[in-house]
Structure 1
Amino acid sequence: MNLLLFAGSLRTESFNRKLLAVAQGILTETPEHKVTVADLKTLALPVYDGDIEAAGMPESVKTLGQLIQSADALVISSPEYNASISSPLKNAIDWVSRLRPIPLEKKPVLLMGTSPGAFGSIRGLGHTRAPFETLGSFLYPQPFAVPKAAEAFLPSGDLADPATKQKLKALLQNYVHFAQNLSVK
C-alpha cells in the first residue's frame, strides 16, 4: 500500500509532525507499505488566490496534487486552530481542490492530531472532515486525538504512554485494512 502522510502544521517542532513520525514508524514496520511524507512547509503553498491560479497553477500545488493522486491512502495529523481546521491544511485542501481531476476524490483519509489541550485536536478534526467530505474523500470514521501534547512525547519523539501508542498502532492497522478494502484505484 502506498501511503502519503503529512501534517497540517508548518512549525518545525510541531507536535503533529512528531505524531506523524510515530505513525510513520508504525506503518513502515510492514515491509509492503511504501510511506511518503510530504511537508507543507517545504512545499510553500501560497495562500489560495484566484488571481494566482488564473496566472498559472503553482508548481508546489501540482507537486502536492501528484503526491496525493499517486497515493493509495492519506494519513493527516493536524492541530486545531481555535477549535477548528488549521489554516495550512485548509489552504492545501483549497489549492488541491482546483486541480482536475480532484486528487482527493475517492481517496481514503485518516485524520489524527494532537494539541496542548485536554481534547487533543478532536474539536478541530470534526471541522476538518467537512472539506474532505465535500470533495468526495472516504474518511475513516474514527479520528485519533492525543491530548496534552507537551507531555505526550518522550525526548526521543516516541509517544510517552505505551497504551496510546498501542491504540495508534491498532487504529493504523484497521485504517489500512479499510483503505485496502475500498479498492478505489
Structure 2
Amino acid sequence: MSTLLGLCGSLRKGSHNLKLVHEAARLHGGALTMGDLRLPLYDGDLEEAEGIPEPVARLAAQIAEADAVIISTPEYNKLLSGVLKNALDWVSRTPGKPWAGKPVAIMSATAGRAGGERTQWSLRLALMPFRPEIVPGPEMLLAGAGKEFDAEGRLTSEHYRKTLTELMEALKARTPGR
C-alpha cells in the first residue's frame, strides 16, 4: 500500500478542501497522513537566528517520505491560500529536494462557480521550481462545495466522484509501491 501525504490549503476544521483530500485518499486506497501547515510566517531573520523550525523540518520529511502527495486548496483572492504558499516557501529552505520527482495531484474546492481554476494555476506555478511530477489531469474543480458532500464526507455528485476517481487513478499510475 502506498503512503499519501495530504496538504490542505485551508486551516478551517470543517474545510471542504480537507474533506476533498480525505475523499481522494479513500478513492486512491493509500494510507493518508495529513501535513500540518500551521507554521510560523516565513522570515529570513528567524531562519538565520534559529534555523529551520521543527514543524517545517517535519513537513519536509513527510513530503520526502511519502509515495505521493495530494494537495487541495481554496481560492483566496484568485490565488492559492497564504498558508499553503507559506509552507511551500518554508520547505524550499530545507536541505535536500523533498518535492523532486514526487507525484502530486492538485485539486480545489470553492463556494463559487469556477471551483478554483485560478488557484490551481497559481499552485502549479508555485510548485514548478521544486520539480515535482504534477498529475496533469483531469482537473478536479469542485464548485459549490458546501452542497457536494454527504454527512460522511463523501462526494454526492456522480460527475465529481468520477473526476476525482480518474485523478486518483492517474496519481496511482505514477505512485511507486502502489
Q: TM-score, normalised by structure 2?
A: 0.91
| Superimposed CA distance per residue, residues 124-174 of structure 1 (whole angstroms, 9 cap, x where no aligned partner) | 110111121112112111231111111111232211212311221122012
| Superimposed CA distance per residue, residues 100-121 of structure 1 (whole angstroms, 9 cap, x where no aligned partner) | 1121122121110110010111
Q: 1:45 aligns with which of 29, 39, 57?
A: 39
Q: 1:117 aligns with which of 105, 112, 121?
A: 112
Q: 1:148 aligns with which of 144, 150, 160?
A: 144
Task: Point out where structure 1 has 5 or more consecutive residues left out of the alignment.
Answer: none
Query: Relative to structure 2, which stretch is displaced further, 86-95 or 160-169?
Result: 160-169
Identity %: 36
Q: 2:170 aligns with which of 168, 174, 181?
A: 174
* Structural mapping, 1:1-185, within 5 Å: 1-28=2-29, 33-40=30-37, 44-55=38-49, 56-142=51-137, 143-180=139-176
Flag the structure with more relative contact order, 1 or 2, with Cα contacts below 8 A and sequence separation at least 6.
2
| Superimposed CA distance per residue, residues 32-65 of structure 1 (whole angstroms, 9 cap, x where no aligned partner) | x33222232xxx2100000111122100000001
Kept in 1, the 8 Å contact 2:28–2:172? The answer is no
Task: Point out where structure 2 has 5 or more consecutive residues left out of the alignment.
Answer: none
In the TM superposition, what is the alpha-carbon distance from 1:67 to its structure 2 partner? 0.3
**Structural RMSD (CA):** 1.5
Separation in 1 of the partners of 2:28 and 2:82? 27
Structure 2 counterpart of 1:86, which letter? S
The secondary structure found in structure 2 opposite 1:145 is: strand
Kept in 1, the 8 Å contact 2:135–2:170? The answer is no
The secondary structure found in structure 1 opposite 2:175 is: helix
Separation in 2 of the partners of 1:141 and 1:23? 16
Q: TM-score, normalised by structure 1?
A: 0.88
